[in-house]
Amino acid sequence: MRIEEHPILSFNKGKKVNFVFDGKTYEGCEGEPIAAALHAAGIMVLGHSHNKQRPRGFYCAIGNCSSCLMVVNGQPNVRVCTEKLQEGMVVETQVGKGDLK
């Protein structure tokens, strides 16, 4: 859900771009964190815990807590709270610890 009106702040968002999350196409703003675009689209589950695969969301927003690790353009363990959204990005739910290529 995007904040359309704010009494103090104005948001200079980038142009609208499309990205794919787990096979479905979504719209976000260029340059915003991937997690913000997912959040605006109502997607709250980002990462998963290693042992019990418990769903994890957005916790710290500044790349500290590693609760939002996902696969982006094939690369695992990307912190989507700081990684910037670009046109055509492919974002996937990560299962396990990810593989180094």
The residues that touch other proteins, with contacts defined as CB under 8 A, are 1-3, 5-9, 11, 13, 32-33, 36, 39-40, 44-46, 49, 54-65, 67, 81-82, 84
The two tokens of residue 50 are 């290693």
CA–CA separation, 32 vs 48, rounded Å?
Answer: 22
Are the C-beta atoms of residues 73 and 21 closer than 8 Å to each other? no
- The least distance separating other proteins from the CB of residue 86, rounded to whole angstroms, comes to 14
- The least distance separating other proteins from the CB of residue 31, rounded to whole angstroms, comes to 9
CA geometry: angle 13, 14, 15, nearest 5 deg: 125
- The least distance separating other proteins from the CB of residue 74, rounded to whole angstroms, comes to 15
Are the C-beta atoms of residues 41 and 57 closer than 8 Å to each other? no
